[in-house]
Chains A and B, each alone.
Chain A
Amino acid sequence: MEKQILSGNEAVARGAYEAGCAVAAAYPGTPSTEILENVALYKDDIYCQWACNEKVATEIASGAAIGGARALAAMKHVGMNVAADPIFSMAYAGVNGGLVVVSADDPGCHSSQNEQDNRLFAPHAKIGLLEPSDSQECKDFTKLGFELSERFDVPMLLRMTTRICHSKGLVELQEREDVPVKKYYRDIKKFALLPSTARNRHVAREELLIEMEAYANDCPINYAEYNPGASAGVITSGISYQYAREIFGEDVSYLKLGLTYPLPRKLITEFAQKFETLYVIEENDPYLENAIRALGFTNVIGKERIPICGELNTQIVREALLGIPAEPAYRVELEAPARPPVMCAGCGHRGFFYALSRKLKRFVPVGDIGCYGLGANPPLSASDYSLCMGAGLSSTIGLSKALALQGDSRKVLGMVGDSTFFHSGLNSLIDVVSSNANVVACVLNNHITAMTGHQQNPGTEINLMGEPNHMIDLVKLIKATDIGDDRIRVVDPLDYQAVNAALDEAAEIEGPFVIVTNRPCALLKEVARANAGKYCEVDEEKCRGCKKCLQIACPAISFADGKAVIAQDTCNGCGLCMQMCNFDVISKVGE
């Protein structure tokens, strides 16, 4: 059997391939993004697409599953909030072909706005829950997910975490199974969820959950490892199993759970009865612990010692349970300056945020999620808050009302990126325009979903499978709201004058105003190629050291010996700094 080193995400993609999955859809989001990127390696066998958001992705997969094909939808944890509607409905409708929904949670908020524990979705939606603990299990559980989905007529939630998604380990590969598409059939009593059918489907779901629990009590992925002379019992799932194994080795016995909803209560009871000392080791919420306590095992040691907040590791768990604190072996009393992520050299967002940062007497800036979220950081500091995708536009409506009530005359200016606009910002904009809100809605179009590593979106030329996309022009889409040509400006964000002029117009006019900035991401291959050899240069003789060019926070510009210096290898000649300089000492080379 061939073994390969795969990340958890790569292994899920491989599992989908081997399981005969035929349709896969996702909206990107760290740490889940590479799942679909890797499914695309099998595009001859699996139709795959970036959907404009997670709800749409789940609905694409749901349609395929109802149609009889095995289907997968993948998303980051907060994406599941967006996708919750179809997931809850599919729990009642059930499937035809297997449906696996992957949620990649992010304990520790490595790249997210929260650390919600999506295991709790499973009992809430009444769908099956699988928790892989390494790459091999990612592949195996994905395959099992399709089988269980069909067997128990239910969507299966595969819950990963950042550490599982982005860790690599050895995985045994198999061939793709030949899974013919099941015949599509019409069954209104099952699939058309009207109140009358839904009531019955709820009953059917509860019955199947009982059957599924019986399976969970006696399935190969929920098992006890008894070690002779064990001093304690450990109940655990997911990555926490690895931490437990590393800390305790063979000194304790384990109940390792892979299928965690419905929970195998009989199996848990049998195991728990045997131990006076019982540890429940899990990341984030006390999902297992609460269920185990509800079975009457009040002796469990879990969240009273293991932190709910943040990502775990062996050292944190060891300290929490065994009281062995981790001490650094070496100390040097010298501070390492922070290294926050920054907008890249040549990034169009910088130009827009700089201009905006000079006008905060007239605007209250509201951000959203993407590279442009970095505009909140100093020295630009031009974004007061960001909540969730789309809120950068929709929340401006409410904020403008609240400001008006307190006599604050500043105009609210909301910002979303192109991918965020297609995700849900379009709906937000519809409300901005139709309610005639007195706000400025900005779409910062860099022609790609940049923050998550350059995924295609409806506005890009090609799609995930490398085929031509029917490109959607977002300016035309905005114009279709009939907002009026006098209320929409399209500008190059690196043209300081043009951005200023658009902002001034936006501030003056009463009612909705739209600014679209148009400048492809500097990291796009074709952009980088076109900019190769271009850079800006400071005339050292003439530079007066006023530091004005440093205010744009470009990683290529530093200050040494009283002069500004531009690093040639970092700069790509965007020329924003030239527009800052009052003494005309910066010039462009390589044009």
Chain B
Amino acid sequence: MTIKSILLVGVGGQGTILISKIITAGLAEMGYDVKMSEIHGMSQRGGSVTTQIKYGEKVYSPNLGIGEADLIVSFEKVEALRALPYLKAGGSLIMDDREIYPMPVLTGDAVYPHEAYDRLKAEVPSVKLIRAAETAQSLGNMRAQNIVLLSAMVKLLGLDNKIDWKKVVAENVPEKSREMNLAAFDAGSAMLEA
């Protein structure tokens, strides 16, 4: 098979790293060769973060370039806009409705493009807006946003019925937030159906 490439983008602290860990564990369980690449460092201080995941029979390069992502999952609106050049022709884009203002916006030196989704929708037929953060909040903790997105992502990639994802999620989240995270997983796949 050909290699599938996924790009996760968000803001430091949004939990992109946890779900990339869960998805790679799941892909390895399915028998795929899998590589994941994440760049942190300066990005931890509220900067943009990106994680790249590739899987297939044999994966060489762990990272991807312009026009190479089969799927982009964005935890934040502006980050979806920033990541767009990496999307492959015909690839899919899932974006959360969440807005997190960067410092230049907070200080009034830049304007937040609230219309990002509408503009993307006009260009990219496959873009899907998901209210993952909002849903996680209603389940008790905004931090479960990542699990809602994970679930949507797994479904979109057609991997949802291949293994017991909820078991993988349960193994990778703390005991005390397990119930909530599993509820978040259910909510995520339901969203994509709607």
Instruction: Say whether B37 faces chain A, with CB atoms less than 8 Å apart.
Output: yes
**Chain B proximity of A137: nearest CB distance (Å):** 13
Known: A170-B28, A332-B120, A344-B46. A338 touches B63 (CB 8 A): no
Q: Is the CB of A336 within 8 A of B65?
A: no
Instruction: Say whether B43 faces chain A, with CB atoms less than 8 Å apart.
Output: yes
Residues of B within 8 A of A378 (CB): 107, 109
Known: A245-B60, A337-B112. A163 touches B84 (CB 8 A): no
Residues of A within 8 A of B81 (CB): 332, 334, 336
Q: Is the CB of B41 within 8 A of A30?
A: yes
Compute how far the CA of A341 lies from the CA of B115 in the bound complex, rounded to whole angstroms: 24
Residue in contact with A168 in the complex, picked from B24, B85, B108, B142, CB distance below 8 Å = B24
Instruction: Say whether A559 faces chain B, with CB atoms less than 8 Å apart.
Output: yes
Q: Is the CB of A341 within 8 A of B47?
A: yes
Q: Is the CB of B46 within 8 A of A332?
A: no
Q: Is the CB of A338 within 8 A of B107?
A: no
Closest-by-CB residue of B relative to A169 is: B35
Compute how far the CA of A166 lies from the CA of B38 in the bound complex, rounded to whole angstroms: 6
Instruction: Say whether A313 faces chain B, with CB atoms less than 8 Å apart.
Output: yes
Compute how far the CA of A111 lies from the CA of B38 in the bound complex, rounded to whole angstroms: 13
Compute how far the CA of A3 lies from the CA of B124 in the bound complex, rounded to whole angstroms: 39
Q: Is the CB of B63 within 8 A of A163?
A: yes
Instruction: Say whether B89 faces chain A, with CB atoms less than 8 Å apart.
Output: yes
Residue in contact with B45 in the complex, picked from A336, A337, A374, CB distance below 8 Å = A374
Known: A246-B60, A313-B65, A329-B87. A341 touches B45 (CB 8 A): yes
Residue in contact with B116 in the complex, picked from A169, A331, A334, A569, CB distance below 8 Å = A334
Residues of A within 8 A of B45 (CB): 341-344, 371, 374
**Chain A 157-187 per-residue mask, 1 if CB under 8 angstroms from chain B, else 0:** 0000011001111100000000000000000
Q: Is the CB of A167 within 8 A of B44?
A: no
Instruction: Say whether A243 faces chain B, with CB atoms less than 8 Å apart.
Output: yes
**Chain A proximity of B83: nearest CB distance (Å):** 9
Compute how far the CA of A330 lies from the CA of B3 in the bound complex, rounded to whole angstroms: 21
**Which secondary structure dominates where chain B touches chain A?**
mixed
Of A60-68, A92-100, A401-409, A550-558, which stretch is located at the interface?
A: A550-558
Instruction: Say whether B152 faces chain A, with CB atoms less than 8 Å apart.
Output: no
Q: Is the CB of B101 within 8 A of A167?
A: no
Residue in contact with B33 in the complex, picked from A170, A339, A340, CB distance below 8 Å = A170
Known: A313-B63, A313-B64. A337 touches B35 (CB 8 A): no
Compute how far the CA of A30 lies from the CA of B64 in the bound complex, rounded to whole angstroms: 21
Compute how far the CA of A110 lies from the CA of B44 in the bound complex, rounded to whole angstroms: 12
Q: List 20 A-B contacts (CB under 8 A).
A: A5-B28, A5-B34, A110-B42, A163-B63, A166-B40, A167-B35, A169-B59, A169-B62, A246-B60, A313-B65, A326-B67, A328-B67, A332-B122, A337-B110, A339-B78, A344-B46, A374-B45, A555-B103, A558-B101, A559-B108
The 10 closest A-B pairs by CB, nearest first: A315-B65, A111-B41, A341-B45, A329-B89, A328-B85, A337-B110, A167-B62, A339-B102, A341-B47, A326-B66
> Hey, which bits of chain B sit against chain A, CB under 8 A?
3, 11-12, 21, 24-25, 28, 33-48, 59-68, 78-79, 81-82, 84-91, 101-113, 115-116, 119-120, 122-124, 142
* Supplied contacts A170-B28, A246-B61, 19 more A-B pairs, CB within 8 Å: A5-B21, A5-B24, A166-B38, A167-B63, A168-B36, A314-B64, A329-B88, A330-B84, A330-B87, A336-B113, A337-B104, A337-B105, A340-B102, A341-B45, A341-B46, A342-B46, A379-B107, A550-B107, A559-B108
